[in-house]
Structure 1
Amino acid sequence: MMTNLFSIFDPLTNLFNLPLNWISTFIGLMFIPHSFWLTPNRSFFFWNFILIKLHNEFKTLMNKNSNGSTFIFISMFSFILFNNLLGLFPYIFTSTSHLVLSLSISLPLWLSFMFYGWINNTQHMFIHMIPQGTPPILMPFMVLIESISNIIRPGTLAVRLTANMIAGHLLMTLLSGTGPNLNSNFIIFLILIQILLMILESAVAIIQSYVIAILSTLYSSEVN
C-alpha cells in the first residue's frame, strides 16, 4: 500500500507482506514469447535492426579490439530500456530509479575498465592523465583533476539515470494528485498534460538507456 508520495521509489514497499518490488526487474522477460526467437516476425526484424545499428555504432566508437565487446553494451542497453519502459506502467516499481541498481550496473563495469587499463596499458593510462600541451607547472593539478573526474564516473552514470527516472515519475505523481481537487474543465487539460508527460517520459526512458550505453562505450575506448 502506498503510504506517501515517495513510496513509489521505495523498494521495501510490500504487497501482502511480501517484498515483491524487485521482481519488476525481471518482468521484461515475460513480454518476449518463445516464438519471438523461433519464428521471424515484424517485432523480431525491428528489434534486430536496432541491435545491428547499435552494434555498428559501438564498434565505431571502440575503434579497435572490440572482438564482440559491443554485445556487453547492447545487453546493458536492452536491460535498462526494458526496466525504464516497464516503470511507466501503474503499480510497477521502477528499479532503475533506485541508486542501488544503477550503481550495481555502472560500478563493476567501471572497475573492470580500470583494472584492464592499468594492468595491460599502464603507460597509456598515465599519458591519459595529462592532456597534450599542458604546461609543466599545471601538470600536478591536471593529474588531480583527471583522477577526480575518473573516479566519479560510475557515480555520475548512476545518478544521471536515477535522477532522470525519478524526476518524471515524481512530476506525474504530483500532477495526478491534484486531479480530485480540480473542476471538470481543468480535468481535460490535466489529462492532456499527463499524456504529453507520458510521451516525454517514454522518450527519456529510451534516451537514458542509450546515453548510459554510449558513455560506457566511450569509457571503455579510453583504456585501449
Structure 2
Amino acid sequence: MMTNLFSTFDPSTNILNLSLNWMSTMIGLMMIPMLFWFTPSRMSMIWINIIITLHKEFKTLLGEFSHKGSTFMFISLFSFILFNNFMGLFPYIYTSSSHMSMTLSLALPLWLSFMMFGWINHTQHMLSHLVPQGTPPILMPFMVCIETISNIIRPGTLAVRLAANMIAGHLLLTLLGNTGPMMNSLMINLLIITQLLLLTLEFAVSIIQSYVFAILSTLYSSEVI
C-alpha cells in the first residue's frame, strides 16, 4: 500500500520504459516564450500586472542599494515554481516540485551565491549579522553559534518547506481517492465534494508556496547587500 502510494513521487517510475517524469519541468520553458508572439489577451495582461506587482514588492524588500535587474531573477524563480506546482495538479503528471532533488537544486545555489557575494564583498556587514544589536557580551559566543546554524540550514528549510507542502496535499488526495471503490453512492458524492475542496486548497497552496520561496530568497539576498 505504502509503496504504491509513494511511487507517485518516485522519479524512477516510467511509462513504456521511458522516464518522462521530469518532462513536465521543461514543458514550461517551451510554452512560455510562445506567449510573446500572441496578441495581448486578458490572461497575458493579468500576468503582466502580476509581474509588475511582484517587481515593486521585491524592489521594496531589496532596498535602494539593490542591483538593477535583480528582481527579475526572483520573478523568474516564482514563475518557474508556480508553473511546476500547477502541473502537479493535473492527473498522471509528476510533481517535480515535490521532490528534494528539485527544490534543493533551486535553494542551495541561490544561498551559496548570496553567502559568497556577502562574505567576499561585505565581510564586516556579514560579521555584524552574527551578533544581533543589544546582545549582552556574555551571550555573544552563543548568539554567533545560533546565527551560524540558522544561516546554514536556510537552504534546507526552503527546500523541505516547498517539497513537504506539495507532497502533503497530494498524499491526502490520493488516500481519499483510494477509498472511493469501497463507498456507497452517498459517500462517493461527499468524497467528490471533499476532493474538489482539497483541490481548491492545493491550488492556493501552489501559489502561496511559490510566493513564499521567492520572498524568502529575496529576504536572504537583502541581508548580504
- TM-score, normalization: structure 1? 0.96
Equivalent in the alignment of 1:146: 147
Query: C-alpha displacement at 1:28, in angstroms?
Result: 2.5
Query: C-alpha displacement at 1:29, in angstroms?
Result: 3.9
Moved more, 23-32 or 161-170: 23-32
Equivalent in the alignment of 2:210: 209
Equivalent in the alignment of 1:87: 88
Alignment map for 1:8-23 (pairs within 5 Å): 8-23=8-23
Q: Say which SS state the counterpart of residue 223 (structure 1) adopts.
A: coil
Question: Could you give the per-residue CA deviations for residues 98-148 of structure 1, whole angstroms, max 9, x where no partner exists?
Answer: 000000000000000000000000000000100001011100000000000
Contact 1:83 1:96 in 2 (8 A): yes
The one-letter code of the counterpart of 2:118 is G
Alignment map for 1:88-107 (pairs within 5 Å): 88-107=89-108
Equivalent in the alignment of 2:4: 4
Cα-Cα RMSD: 1.2
Query: C-alpha displacement at 1:41, in angstroms?
Result: 1.4
- TM-score, normalization: structure 2? 0.96
Equivalent in the alignment of 2:62: 62
Alignment map for 1:32-181 (pairs within 5 Å): 32=32, 34=34, 36-64=36-64, 65-181=66-182
Query: C-alpha displacement at 1:31, in angstroms?
Result: 4.6
The one-letter code of the counterpart of 2:127 is F
1:178 and 1:169 mapped to 2: Cα distance?
15
Structure 2 CA distance for partners of 1:72 and 1:35, relative to 1, 3 Å:
closer
Query: C-alpha displacement at 1:38, in angstroms?
Result: 4.0
Identity %: 70
Equivalent in the alignment of 2:197: 196
Query: C-alpha displacement at 1:40, in angstroms?
Result: 1.5
1:195 and 1:109 mapped to 2: Cα distance?
36
Q: Say which SS state the counterpart of residue 220 (structure 2) adopts.
A: helix
Query: C-alpha displacement at 1:36, in angstroms?
Result: 4.4
The one-letter code of the counterpart of 1:22 is W
Question: Could you give the per-residue CA deviations for residues 82-112 of structure 1, whole angstroms, max 9, x where no partner exists?
Answer: 0000100000000000000000000000000
The one-letter code of the counterpart of 2:160 is V
What are structure 2's unaligned runs of at least 5 residues?
none
Aligned length: 222
Query: C-alpha displacement at 1:27, in angstroms?
Result: 2.1
1:77 and 1:33 mapped to 2: Cα distance?
16
Structure 2 CA distance for partners of 1:33 and 1:139, relative to 1, 3 Å:
closer
Q: Say which SS state the counterpart of residue 34 (structure 1) adopts.
A: helix
